[in-house]
Amino acid sequence: MANNDMEAQEALARDFQPALEGPLVGDKKSSLAITEEYAKADPIYVVKTSALPQKYSHYRPVLGDGNCGWRAAGFSYFETLLRLRNKAQLEEEVARITSLNNLLKTAGGFSEWVYEDMAEEVTGLLSDLANLLPHSIPQAEATLRERFNDPSISNSIVYYFRLLASSWLKANPASYEGFIPDGLGVDGYTKNWIEPVNQEIDHLGMTLLIDALLKPVGFAVEIVYLDRSEGSQANSHVFQSEDANGVPTNPAGPMIHLLYRPSHYDILYKDQAPQIQIPQNTNIQVQRATSLSHRHNIQTTPAVMGDMSGLDMSIFSCIPGFSLQQQSHHGFPSQYNTTPLEAYTPSSISVSPISPGASSAKVSSNGLPATFPAQPPPPNSLTPPTLPSTHSAFPPPTTQLPILTHLPAPHRPSLSSHTSLSGHPLSSELSSPSSASSFRPSKYEWEAAAEWEGPVVFQTSTFKNSHYNVAHYNNPNFQPEEWTPESEDPPTGRKRSS
Amino acid sequence: MNNYDMEDTQNSAPGALPAVQASKLAPRRGPDAQSTTKRLQTELMQLMTSSAPGISAFPSAADNLLAWAATIEGPDDTPYQGLTFKLSFAFPLNYPYAPPTVLFKTPIYHPNVDFSGRICLDILKDKWTAAYNIQTVLLSLQSLLGEPNNASPLNGEAAELWDKDPEEFKRKVLGRHRDVDDE
């Protein structure tokens, strides 16, 4: 971090005074309290803190005693294990922590007498939570809070995490050396930043703790940065296990949310969000809902499109579940989530349960400009995904097509034809959003869809049967219009598959 | 201070502790409620079985593990060669998560020690870690005698003389040194 940034951070730190009295780990409260706290602050803070409760329903204050980052992450580790309601996993963690003693000893160079009592507090708490879990979850939660608010126990647990982070760094110096500040070297850094008892966690320390403690259990951590940077929402950064290509290895895993204000950490919660085990279902729904109400303007990009550059992917935006923002939800590292669209979409989103290739290819080959009513070009544009296809008779690249997500239905018949093509009832695919989360269209489907040469007829009845966007099939509250003889119009209704 | 006797505390601690702490410790089970005591007992055992040469430490009184007396011998080839210094250790209740308060009881002329015996050493302040112990503190102090940190002296005159006039420095060291009785 540049010196100027450091100074700016220091200045910000002076503005915020974390609580120096009160419990080490406080009670969970509505995150509206943060908004109120900042109501009279700098306008940037007012805007950002008022946006906070929309994404995070609750927060838990942590005492700013120089250990808050360690304590917040550590508490969240136990709390998340508890929320998963999995006794076996708690017991596995006892075994893992016990086995990590070896790392502390060999890589960390710590004597047994230094860490054994601290490690015992960690494993003891894990075992106690495992034993309480089948009997009384409130009692388990109370035990967790009590331990973390008993200074002697809490400090032992927190210090264990420091030793773990220090040992992890010493065991993997090559991965982190570039991030050690001021040329301190591994030993100098751990002596000055990790091991001193009241030294607040820095960025590398948090990274080490997440890598050593949280990623191995499949927990992701989102840190929300509340600072005076530009924007109407706090920036956030997600730390999670990724494979060599940067794809999250456990995208559906639980996520811990931490609120960072310069030199202070608290815990955030998304409690309206669904149960932590099934986060994707609702994510998908929300994503669809947002895509229904937003216009997207698509500009095809020749560099990306290659020989099928004319194929306009923009039409995907009308297909439920095929998110125009899917890239940002596949957890590419260093993703800063700032757009309002992404409220309550923590980890992942997937492509449509249907193959979009059919509709787009057909519609395109039938002459897009003719089938799309003229619309004023909306302001954004995006880069469409590539598609393994070889269509060439399409409009030239960089054709800018204004697409309203409430699309006036030209794709509807092609959806039907795709249904008959693939032999799957469209309705069954569309009406099971929970299965959509893991669905990836295979390239064979894409090709089959793209090669479909059958006639596509935009029949008047089909057109009228459409509700502009098939996304409504995935809306649990969707009520189809019912045909009534009194109606002047021809019958309209929910047509599933033909 | 007698509330924190070693063996006795382990089972009777909640009753003997102040009300606030007793309530916090009440839900605890097991004998390690006083992790500080346990830690200090461990350190005592280590010092008794494998003490480094030139240093020693022991609890001041049999019934109080939170106050220790220690000695270090002046390292060879330093102005302190041949001299012995007594020190006191006062351990906070949250030791090792806070450093002990260490004072020179023997008067010492040193750039980083003031005339009350207070010591300026980073590992006794913001660089304290729970991985340090009495022995590492004593060894650090011993090396401080031979390598003072003249950049942040408590005794400015000593810092200056250390560089400019080693003979005069040695004279001041010997002049100030005097044996003190055990407390």
Question: Quick check: A354 pLDDT over 60?
Answer: no
- Same-domain pairing of A225 and A283: no
B173 to chain A, closest Cα gap in Å = 32
Whether B76 is covered by a domain: the verdict is yes
Q: Of A269, A301, A316, which marks where a domain is finished?
A: A269
Lowest-confidence pick of A94-108, A330-344, B34-48: A330-344
A191 part of contact set with chain B, CB < 8 Å:
yes
- Same-domain pairing of A311 and A263: no
- Same-domain pairing of A373 and A427: yes
Q: How confident is the model at residue A485 (pLDDT cuts 50, 70, 90)?
A: confident
pLDDT at residue A326, rounded to an integer: 43
- Same-domain pairing of A160 and A295: no
CA distance B169 to A372: 94
The active-site residue, picked from B33, B120, B145, B161, is B120
pLDDT at residue A276, rounded to an integer: 39
Q: Which residue has the higher pLDDT, A237 or A385?
A: A237
Mean pLDDT over each residue of chain A, to the nearest integer: 71
- Same-domain pairing of A319 and A440: yes
The β-bridge relationship of strands A264-269 and A220-225 is: unpaired
Q: How confident is the model at residue A375 (pLDDT cuts 50, 70, 90)?
A: very low
- Same-domain pairing of A189 and A248: yes
Whether B6 is covered by a domain: the verdict is no
- Same-domain pairing of A289 and A147: no
Question: How does DSSP assign A386-402, residue by residue?
Answer: P-------SPPTT-EEE
The total domain count for chain A is 2
Q: CB–CB of B127 and A198 under 8 A?
A: no
Query: What percent of chain A is predicted at pLDDT more than 70?
Result: 51
Q: Which of B27, B35, B98 sits opposite A117 (nearest CB)?
A: B35
Whether A496 is covered by a domain: the verdict is no
Residue with tokens 């601690």: B13
Query: By C-alpha distance, which of A170, A197, A171 is closest to A185?
Result: A170
pLDDT at residue B52, rounded to an integer: 84
CATH (domain of A90): 1.20.1300.20
- Same-domain pairing of A262 and A311: no
Q: CB–CB of B130 and A197 under 8 A?
A: yes
CA distance A20 to A63: 6
pLDDT at residue A397, rounded to an integer: 46
Question: Quick check: B16 pLDDT over 90?
Answer: no
Whether A274 is covered by a domain: the verdict is no
B7 catalytic per annotation: no
pLDDT at residue A36, rounded to an integer: 85
Q: Of A269, A291, A320, which marks where a domain is finished?
A: A269
The boundaries of the domain holding residue B42 are 31-176
CATH (domain of B133): 3.10.110.10
Residues of A in Cβ contact (< 8 Å) with B128: 196-197
A104 to chain B, closest Cα gap in Å = 12
CA distance A472 to A494: 10
Nearest-5° Cα angle at B132, B126 to B137: 85
Burial B138-162 (b: 16+ CB within 10 A, else e): bebbbebbeebeeeebbbeebbebb
Provide CB contacts within 8 A for A277, sequence distance 6+: A84
Question: For A166-184, what is the mean pLDDT?
Answer: 92
Question: For A427-448, what is the mean pLDDT?
Answer: 48
**ipTM value greater than 0.95:** no
Whether B14 is covered by a domain: the verdict is no
Q: Which residue has the higher pLDDT, A379 or A24?
A: A24
pLDDT at residue A8, rounded to an integer: 61
- Same-domain pairing of A69 and A140: yes
Residues of B in Cβ contact (< 8 Å) with A197: 96-99, 128-130
B127 part of contact set with chain A, CB < 8 Å:
yes
Q: Which of B39, B43, B127 sits opposite A192 (nearest CB)?
A: B127
- Same-domain pairing of A162 and A292: no
The total domain count for chain B is 1
Among A359-368, A436-445, A483-492, the range with the most confident prediction by mean pLDDT is A483-492
The boundaries of the domain holding residue A433 are 279-382+398-474
Query: How many other CB atoms are found less than 10 A from the CB of residue A124?
Result: 19
Q: Of A269, A289, A321, which marks where a domain is finished?
A: A269
Whether B63 is covered by a domain: the verdict is yes
Whether B65 is covered by a domain: the verdict is yes
